[in-house]
């Protein structure tokens, strides 16, 4: 499978809800449609809530991966403004 | 409007986080709110909740015009003022509280009475006008000025247990004169003995006006255009009445007779 290259990366480790989503949403709003955002985060609930909220807002969740004992990497493709 | 994340400080992201989360607002909408300039008439029962919530929301600039001073009898409903600010100009009393709530917002305090000679000069620099005045001459002056200047207007009124709200978008919807062509004659206006108001009522109507203003700024939802919302507090009833734009309207009709601001004097009891 072709590796997806992110157009923008944010590291929001240390942030809790709702700021995990607030920061992710601001990042996606500043991008153009079709671009991919990579979010690195460590707040367990956000690993579920960010993908769900992004989908609710019309964005596409490409992957949610736990990369080590504490951190997740989420890839989101911007589909709409 | 191009949006970049660095338009907000870390504190602003936290302050406005509950706006940013909303799909209808987001960072882009909050940027629109921060760029908006509104002109508010009155720092009284309606003006206090209107300016309080718009300041909390982060509206860029709020000008407040009022020539009155705080009186003990105001404090049952005018929530920006306090026992300590009795005797102070209302706009100064309001400004101190609003600045403390949100230093992002520029509050312009204007200690004057609006007149046909000064109103157009004031409102030309603002995006939206909000009428929180308590008298008919001002209401008609503000309506006519907004129609002539093409400025959207949120209009609210309260008396006893009933409140009214409407949103005037010149060129698109009705205006106040489409609804009530002329000022009511003297005998039909309640005297000061008859004109009580339960203190919470202007809070409800004022917050409805603040909501209308934010929707105008965001360009989201349906505002009360061609509509009068009437709230009956005793019955807890909200009723919407259709108000079609009147093609014969003296100020916004096809052939207007009011093309400049004339006299708005009336001999009502103003206590």
Q: Which residues from chain B sit within 8 angstroms of residue A25, using beta carbons?
A: 20-21, 26-27
| pLDDT greater than 60 at residue B116 | yes
Say if B10 is an interface residue toward chain A (CB within 8 Å).
no
- Whose structure tokens read 């002109």? B39
Provide Rg for chain B, Cα atoms.
Answer: 18
**pLDDT value of residue B185:** 79
Q: Do B14 and A19 touch (CB under 8 A)?
A: yes
* Residue B12, in any domain of the structure: no
pLDDT tens-place string over residues B212-222: 999 999 999 99
pLDDT band at A4 (very low <50, low <70, confident <90, very high): confident
Q: Hey, what's the torsion of the CAs at B224, B227, B231, B235, to 10 degrees?
A: -130
For residues A37-52, average pLDDT: 96
Establish whether A17 is a catalytic residue: yes
DSSP A30: T
**How confident is the model at residue B5, as a pLDDT?**
73
Is the pLDDT confidence value at B126 over 90?
Answer: yes
Provide the pLDDT for residue B87. 98
The token pair at A73 is: 């990497």
- Is B112's pLDDT higher than 70? yes
pLDDT digits (tens, 9 = 90+) for B60-108: 999 999 999 999 999 999 999 999 999 999 999 999 999 999 999 999 9
* Exposed e or buried b per residue across A41-58, where buried means at least 16 C-beta atoms within 10 angstroms of its C-beta: bbbeebbeebbebbeebe
Determine the pLDDT at residue A70.
Answer: 96
* Count of the separate structural domains present in chain B: 1
Phi, psi of B85 (to 5 degrees): -105, 10
> Cα(A12)–Cα(B32) distance, rounded to whole angstroms?
26
Q: What is the pLDDT of residue A11?
A: 97
Q: Is residue B9 part of a domain?
A: no
B21 at A interface, C-beta within 8 A: yes
Chain B partners of A81 at a C-beta cutoff of 8 Å?
28
> What confidence score (pLDDT) does residue B3 get?
72
B268 pLDDT more than 70: no
Q: Measured on CA atoms in the order A19, B97, B140, B198, is the torsion positive or negative?
A: positive
Residue B240: pLDDT band (50, 70, 90) is very high
**CA separation for the pair A57, A54 (Å, rounded):** 5
CATH class of the domain at A8-77: alpha beta
Domain that holds residue B195: 17-242
Chain B residue at shortest CA distance from A27: B5
Contact (CB, 8 A) for B77 and B199: yes
Q: Do A26 and B28 touch (CB under 8 A)?
A: no
Strand duo B128-131 + B153-159: pairing: parallel
A7 CB neighbour count, 10 Å cutoff = 14
pLDDT tens sequence across A49-81: 999 999 999 999 999 999 999 999 999 999 998
Q: Is B26's Cβ below 8 Å from some Cβ in A?
A: yes
CB B229 within 8 A of CB B240: yes
Cβ contact, residue pair A26, B17, below 8 Å:
no
Count of A–B CB contacts within 8 Å? 35
For B170-201, b/e burial (b = at least 16 CB within 10 A) is beebbbbbbbeeebeeeeebeeeeeeebbeeb
State the best of A8, A18, A30 to mutate against chain B, taking most chain B CBs within 10 Å.
Answer: A30
Closest to B21 (Cβ–Cβ): which among A21, A27, A81? A21
Q: Categorize the per-residue pLDDT at A1 as very low, low, confident or very high, splitting at 50, 70 and 90.
A: low
Q: Is B23 on the interface with A (CB under 8 A)?
A: yes
Catalytic position from the list A4, A9, A16, A17:
A17
Place B270 in a pLDDT band, splitting at 50, 70 and 90: low
- Maximum separation of any 2 CA atoms in chain B, in Å: 58
Q: What CATH number did the domain enclosing B192 receive?
A: 3.40.50.720
């Amino acid at each position: 499978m072709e590796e997806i290259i992110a157009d923008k990366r944010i590291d929001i480790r240390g942030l809790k809800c709702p700021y995990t989503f607030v920061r992710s949403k601001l990042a996606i709003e500043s991008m153009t449609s079709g671009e991919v955002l990579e979010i690195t985060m460590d707040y367990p609930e956000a690993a579920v809530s960010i993908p769900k909220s992004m989908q609710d807002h019309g964005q596409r969740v490409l992957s949610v991966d736990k990369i080590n004992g504490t951190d997740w990497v989420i890839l989101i493709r911007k589909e709409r403004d | 409007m191009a949006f970049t994340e660095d338009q907000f400080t870390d504190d602003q992201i936290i302050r406005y986080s509950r706006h940013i989360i909303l799909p209808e607002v987001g960072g882009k909408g909050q940027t629109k709110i921060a760029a908006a300039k509104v002109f508010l008439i009155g720092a009284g029962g309606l003006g206090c909740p209107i300016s309080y919530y718009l300041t909390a929301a982060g509206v860029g600039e709020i000008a407040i015009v009022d020539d009155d001073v705080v009186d003990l009898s105001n404090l049952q409903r005018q929530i920006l003022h306090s026992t300590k600010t009795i005797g102070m100009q209302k706009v100064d009393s309001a400004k101190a509280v609003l600045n403390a709530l949100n230093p992002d917002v520029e509050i312009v305090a204007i200690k004057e009475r609006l007149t046909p000679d000064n109103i157009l000069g004031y409102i030309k620099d603002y995006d939206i006008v909000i009428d929180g005045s308590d008298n008919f001459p001002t209401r008609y002056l503000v309506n006519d000025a907004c129609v002539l200047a093409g400025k959207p207007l949120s209009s609210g009124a309260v008396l006893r247990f009933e409140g009214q709200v409407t949103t005037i978008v010149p060129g698109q919807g009705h205006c106040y004169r489409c609804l009530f062509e002329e000022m009511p004659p003297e005998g039909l206006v309640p005297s000061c003995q008859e004109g009580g108001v339960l203190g919470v009522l202007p809070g409800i109507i004022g917050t409805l006006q603040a909501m209308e203003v934010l929707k105008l700024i965001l360009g989201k939802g349906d505002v009360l255009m061609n509509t009068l919302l009437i709230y009956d507090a005793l019955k807890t009833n909200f009723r919407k009445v259709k108000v079609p734009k009147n093609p014969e309207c003296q100020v916004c009709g096809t052939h207007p007779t009011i093309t400049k601001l004339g006299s708005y004097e009336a001999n009502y009891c103003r206590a």
